A and B are shown apart, each in its own frame.
Chain A
Amino acid sequence: MSIDTVSPSLFPRLEPLLARVNKPIQYVGGEVNSVTKEWADTSVRWALMYPDAYEVGQPNQGVAILYEILNERDWILAERTYSVWPDLAALMRQHGLPQFTLDNHRAVGDFDVFGLSFATELGYTNMLGALDLAGIPLHAADRREHDPIVLAGGHAAFNPEPIATFIDAAVLGDGEQASLDVSEIIRAWKAEGRPEGRDGLLHRLAASGLVYVPRFYDVDYLPDGRIQRVVPNRAGVPFRVAKHTLMDLDAWPYPKRPLVPLAETVHERYSVEIFRGCTRGCRFCQAGMITRPVRERSIDTIGAMVAEGLASTGLEEVGLLSLSSADHSEIAPITKQLADRYEGTNVSLSLPSTRVDAFNIDLANELSRNGRRSGLTFAPEGGSERMRKVINKMVSEEDLINTVAAAFGNGWRQVKLYFMCGLPTETDEDVLAIADLAARVIETGRAVSGSRDIRCTVSIGGFVPKPHTPFQWAGQASPETIDHRLGLLRDKIRADRRYGRAIGMRYHDGKPGQIEGLLSRGDRRIGAVIEAVYRDGGMFDGWSEHFSYERWVRCAETALADTGVDLEWYTTREREYREVLPWDHLDSGLDRDWLWEDWQDALDDTEVEDCRWTPCYDCGVCPQLNTAIQIGPTGRSLIPITPL
């Protein structure tokens, strides 16, 4: 955190090492639309990290948005850094080279803020790897005046307690305005001569309510291991820290000019977020709960973003993103008019959507005018009608069958269905119902299309209870339970002589889900487990070839030995209403009693409607955070332009 010395480029020292590593292109930067600024011309400098390999991290929408917004200010510099694979990391250690940014190959330790975006808890060990390689002490308490402020954001930051030891602060919610506000505070603090040093800055940030600074809160435990209370230990910091909510997405049309990678990445498309938030009320869905209320982008902003994004990147694929894209109030005109605009070009449009109704087929037809109709994806999530009521995924079996009938009647030949296993109250029969559903899909498809060339793939993930959802109190199913039920389902599909061969089944075993569950609902004591795993060589936990369940279990046993709690206590144990949850002092806007009532409704198989079309059901977000649902329709339409 120095403004006097210019951080030099490490590239001349890195370059000879690159000849000796796998896929060196991921470390060189210089992508189209990347930004280069002089160090000395800026007063607040961010190193932004998505804590995974470049091929996964580069397409991340959150980092792309912040990179543009911060760099648009002439006094702010933002550069990017990603996890370094073990081959290069070993060479860097050998040659004394620290974690670097891609844009100008500067040392991450030279920046004011080291901001990490956590889409998943499985990135925690990669954060430790980056801190270590950067030469920044792992523990926030050990950091020196010149070390960057380590700031966590993203969905996982809604319970940052497991990484409380390692981060200086966390930002909850939308980062656009919040990152600028944090920058302003740092600028002012520096201009005043850094009063009271690092601690003074953290106190300013905490007192402003912008960020959560874990060290300013003490956690006390009951003799049985539950949390007794979490209270501030410093005057002037709030008892609860609230999330940030960006209103008017049309005023923030980012990313406008996303980076175009030279290296191959997992998503090579220009993505436009068509709305943020979701009020469908699926009880398992943390994203839907913590991003409320629904805020739509208007049709003309979307049209302008697509046109500019394609022109500035040269990409050919456009993704219209959101948590449930078909729910946009003007989705029909948006898809039709974009399809009109790009008809006859090689631009393809995709709508990752999960709604199961015939309307969806109309949209899918619009987006596939070139005649390529291979597969459609739906997410009933629960196999039985009862299960879907528990999770509030309001799709009847008839809805699903009518939808796939419409799909097969329109020339689609393959349907992919997403489900979860290990949901609260689930029995073996609920999971076996997936096989019946898939068989009915094939039966319907053959009847409607008159062809036997029909496929249905069921893709099943293990359910992980998440903070700030009605299922935050639920006991997670053990890996053994999940593996047992998936085994039964596999056998049943195999035994189906009429339809079994047309049904594909994709799933993972239940072990990674248990570790994700530990990290999702963990408290500060979990930090020792994460550190032990990292010190034992654990990183890249999102990659099955690197993830070691055995290591996590072993490290959890050792690190939690004196606490009276263990892996099962954090995962398979159901919580009671009165228990203080590790994230109760972090405010997602959701009323705790509403969440509890919704949890009770789930246990009674009672559904709740979407508040966009029915009266408010008092989840608490709008009044608590002084926000409101922003939806259309605007009634406006896209001007037909001739694209290149």
Chain B
Amino acid sequence: MTPRQPPEQQAPPVQKLRIRYAKTGRARFASHRDFSRAFERALRRAGVPMAYSSGFSPHPRISYANASPTGAATDAEYLEIGLARAVDPGQLRNELNAALPDGLVLQDVVEAGPGSLADGLTASVWEIDLGPVPGDVLAGAVAGVLVSETLPVQRMTKTGMRDFDARPAILALAVIGEGTLRLLVEHQAPLVRPDDVVQALTRIEPACQSGQPAMFHRRYQGSWDGQVLLDPFNGEPLVLT
């Protein structure tokens, strides 16, 4: 055998499926890398006929989009897989759910439509639980955020501390319960995350800190058409509950 000769090209996928999954409970502490390893192993345990990339080290064809930060719960993560053989999406969902660890659940599996998955994911709805914060304090802070022209925040990135304006990405912010907010945020660069919004709230009103770490829960992801959030799978307006 001659080494160094590139291996044969893999055939392109026969079927592409798009998946919405949830990461809740203790699994919310899984990082995106942790999730992808667990997902790939579940694919193998369930015997899913994956298509593989070409090259010396073939990988199963999986594309991930907009991973939630480690520690956040989510009902609205999305990915796309390429298969070597067509399968029934409902059956794939059931078998993969049986193979995934606790707290990782596939919600929806559909045949990929036209356009890229990422194009349909331009905004997110988050719920933010700040713990026990008095209602008037929180309402005041939210009003403060909404009237601000700019919201300078800082975040540690790989390249060091970075300053940016969180305001343009915030499409809506409202109090929905005790210490609990709902945030509609557009995906921009740099990506504004719910903890950036908490930082902005705390700058306006330090009493927004309850002493407990804030909990984040992504409820929806979709494309923002200027009026409503559209489901990335069927283009219909998402019904927010």
Contacts and interface: CB of A to CB of B under 8 A. Distances in A.
Nearest to A311: B45
A29 interface: yes
Contacts of A263: 30, 34
Given A314-B45, A346-B58, A29 B26 contact: yes
A29, A32, A264: which has the most chain B beta carbons within 10 Å? A32
A19 B45 contact: no
Contact of A314 (B4, B29, B44, B56): B44
A495 interface: no
Nearest to B131: A16
B101 A31 contact: yes
B107 to A, nearest CB: 19
Contacts of B237: none
Nearest to B195: A19
Interface string A262-275: 11100010000000
Given A371-B5, A411-B1, A262 B30 contact: yes
Contact of B26 (A19, A30, A260, A411): A30
A24 interface: yes
Contact of B41 (A18, A30, A315, A370): A315
A372 B7 CA distance: 10
B96 to A, nearest CB: 11
Contacts of B56: 371-372
| Consensus secondary structure, chain A interface | loop
A268 B38 CA distance: 11
B5, B7, B101, B212: which has the most chain A beta carbons within 10 Å? B101
A177 interface: no
B5 A30 contact: no
Nearest to A24: B29
Given A260-B41, A313-B41, A411 B102 contact: no
A314 B99 contact: yes
B45 A30 contact: no
Given A28-B26, A30-B26, A372-B56, A260 B38 contact: yes
Given A25-B34, A411-B3, A313 B29 contact: no
Contacts of A30: 25-27, 101-103
Contacts of A372: 3, 56-57
Interface in A1-59: 11, 15-16, 18-20, 23-25, 27-32
B202 to A, nearest CB: 16
Interface in A203-227: none
A23 B212 CA distance: 19
A316 B2 contact: no
A373 interface: yes
A312 interface: yes
Given A18-B29, A262-B101, A371-B1, A314 B41 contact: yes
B177 interface: no
A251 interface: no
Contacts of B70: 24-25
A16 B71 CA distance: 10
B29 A28 contact: yes
Interface in B32-56: 33-35, 37-38, 40-45, 47, 52, 56
Nearest to A644: B47
A311 B47 CA distance: 9
- Interface size band for A: 35 or more
A312 to B, nearest CB: 7
A27, A263, A314: which has the most chain B beta carbons within 10 Å? A314
A19 B4 CA distance: 46
Interface in A290-319: 310-316
B226 interface: no
Given A25-B30, A30-B27, A411-B2, A313 B71 contact: no
A371 B31 CA distance: 33
Nearest to B49: A644
A313 B26 contact: no
A262 B7 contact: no
B63 to A, nearest CB: 19
A31 B101 CA distance: 6
Nearest to A643: B47
B213 interface: yes
Nearest to A260: B41
A311 B45 CA distance: 6
Interface string B209-235: 000110100000000000000000000
Contacts of B45: 32, 311-314
Contact of B38 (A11, A15, A28, A262): A262
B71 A18 contact: yes
A542 B236 CA distance: 56
A32 B43 contact: no
A224 B201 CA distance: 71
Nearest to A345: B44
Contacts of B71: 18-19, 24
Nearest to A411: B3
A87 to B, nearest CB: 14
Contacts of B43: 314
B157 to A, nearest CB: 17
Nearest to A453: B4
A316 B52 CA distance: 14
A32 B1 contact: no
A372 B3 CA distance: 7
B2 A264 contact: no
Contacts of B27: 28, 30, 262
B213 A371 contact: no
B15 to A, nearest CB: 18
A470 B211 CA distance: 60
Interface string A460-473: 00000000000000
B92 to A, nearest CB: 14
Interface in B109-155: none
B195 to A, nearest CB: 10
Nearest to B33: A264
A16 B131 CA distance: 11
Interface in A311-334: 311-316
B5 A16 contact: no
B99 A262 contact: no
Interface of A: 11, 15-16, 18-20, 23-25, 27-32, 260, 262-264, 268, 310-316, 346, 369-373, 411, 413, 644
5 contacts: A11-B26, A16-B213, A263-B34, A312-B45, A371-B7
Interface of B: 1-5, 7, 25-27, 29-31, 33-35, 37-38, 40-45, 47, 52, 56-58, 70-71, 99, 101-103, 212-213, 215
Q: Which 5 A-B residue pairs are closest in the complex by CB-CB distance?
A: A314-B41, A411-B3, A314-B45, A314-B44, A28-B26
Given A30-B25, A262-B27, 7 more contacts: A24-B70, A262-B35, A264-B37, A268-B37, A311-B45, A371-B3, A644-B44
